[in-house]
Amino acid sequence: MKKISQSQIKLLAIFCMALAPFISIAGGGWTKQKGKAYYKVSHWWIDAAKQFTFDGSSVASVEEGIFNTSIFAEYGFTDRFTGIVNLPYSKSANDTESISGIGDTDVAFKYRITKSNSKFVLAGTLQLGLPFGEDAGGSDGSLQTGDGEFNQIYRLDLSKSFQISSINAYANVYSAFNNRTQNFSDEMRVGAEVGAGFLNNKIWAIVRLDVVESFQNGAESTAASDGATIFANNTEYMAYSYEIAGYITEKIGISASTASVFSASNIFAAPAYSVGVFLDLK
C-alpha cells in the first residue's frame, strides 16, 4: 500500500468507491425479513483536478467530474435470503464535454448462514457488477460511466449487535474477493463498520474502514497512460468514511456520507459527497 504524506491528507483527498459494498441502515450481515424492503434514491458526486499516482503522491490532472443518481433496493425473499439492486444514472464530464447514461449496475444476493438466535450474524453475499456503463466516451475516450468489465464479488460479513448503556449499536467486519474480467486485476477487500442509534434509533451514525488491494495480475497500468479515475485498473486505497441517517417518519428518512483516505494510488484525489432519501419498509 502506497502511503501519502500528512500534508496531502490535509488536502482533503476524499473519494467514494465506485464498487463499494452496499450500504443499508442495518449494515453488515443482516438480511431483510421476508416481504420487507428498503429503497433509497441517492446522489453521489466527485469533481477532481488531481489524482493519486502509483507512488501515492497527488498530482494535477485534467479536471473531470462524475455524478451518479442511483436507485438502490433490497427485498427479503425469505428471512435469510435478500436480493439487492443498485442502478445508477451516471454523468461524466470534463471542461469541454460530457457523456451520460445508465452506469455500471450491481445485483447482489445475500444469504444469512447463522440462525436467528445466534449471538453473531454470519452472511455470504454474491455481488455481480454488470457493465452497462460507457468505458471510453468523449473525443479522447477519457470519459467513463463504467469500466467495461463483468466482475463478481464474493463477500463474508460477521456482525453483532449490542448496547452501550441505552444506545443500540452494532459492529461488522468483512472480507471479500473481487474476480474481475477484461484483463483487470483481481482484488482483495477487507473492512470494518460500527454504527450506533440515537433518539430511539431515529438517528444512526456509522463509521467505516475499507481497504482494497490489487493482486496486480491483470494488465499493467500507469497513471500517465490510463488516467487515475474511480474506474482505473490496479487501484488501491485505505479509506475511512462517515454516514449519518435519520428517520423523518417511521419509514422515511434522509442520509449523508463522505469518505477520506489514509493512503491511495491510481485514483481521483478530490472531495466527494453523497446524499439520499430512503424508504424503510421494516
Express each pLDDT in 162-207 by its tens digit.
999 989 999 999 999 999 999 999 999 999 999 999 999 999 999 9
Query: CB neighbours (10 Å) of residue 5?
Result: 11
Domain with 170 in it: what CATH number? 2.40.160.40
Residue 23: band (very low, low, confident or very high) from pLDDT cuts 50, 70, 90: very low
Residue 1 falls inside a structural domain? no
Residue 47 is predicted with a pLDDT of 78
Query: CB neighbours (10 Å) of residue 269?
Result: 26
In Å, how far are 47, 170, 212, 282 from 248, measured between CA atoms?
Answer: 30, 22, 35, 15
Q: Amino acid letter at 173?
A: V
Residue 225 falls inside a structural domain? yes
8's enclosing H/E stretch is helix 6-9
Residue 51 falls inside a structural domain? yes
- What is the C-alpha to C-alpha distance for residues 124 and 144, in angstroms, rounded to an integer? 30
Residue 272 falls inside a structural domain? yes
Q: Which residues pair with 64 in a beta bridge?
A: 48, 94
User: Please, what is the Cα angle at 234 between 230 and 236, to 5 degrees?
Assistant: 70
| Structural domain range at position 125 | 6-281
Total of domains in the chain: 1
Residue 275 falls inside a structural domain? yes
Helix (H, G, I), strand (E, B) or coil at 2: coil
Residue 97 cell numbers, joined: 464535454
Residue 223 is predicted with a pLDDT of 43
Average pLDDT over the chain, rounded to an integer: 86
- What is the C-alpha to C-alpha distance for residues 195 and 58, in angstroms, rounded to an integer? 32
Residue 92 is predicted with a pLDDT of 93
6's enclosing H/E stretch is helix 6-9
Helices (H), 146-263: 223-226
Residue 132 falls inside a structural domain? yes
Residue 103 falls inside a structural domain? yes
Mean pLDDT in residue range 131-144: 90
35-53 per-residue burial string, b: 16 or more CB within 10 A, e: under 16: eebbebebebbbebebbbb
Residue 228: band (very low, low, confident or very high) from pLDDT cuts 50, 70, 90: low
Mean pLDDT in residue range 42-61: 78
Q: Which residue has the cell 441502515?
A: 25
Q: What pLDDT digit, counting tens, does each position of 90-106 carry?
A: 999 888 899 999 999 99
Contacts of 39 (CB under 8 A, 6+ apart): 71, 72, 73, 278, 279, 281
Residue 204 cell numbers, joined: 444512526
46's enclosing H/E stretch is strand 37-52
φ, ψ at 16 (rounded to 5°): -115, 150
pLDDT at residue 11 greater than cutoff 70: no
pLDDT at residue 54 greater than cutoff 80: no
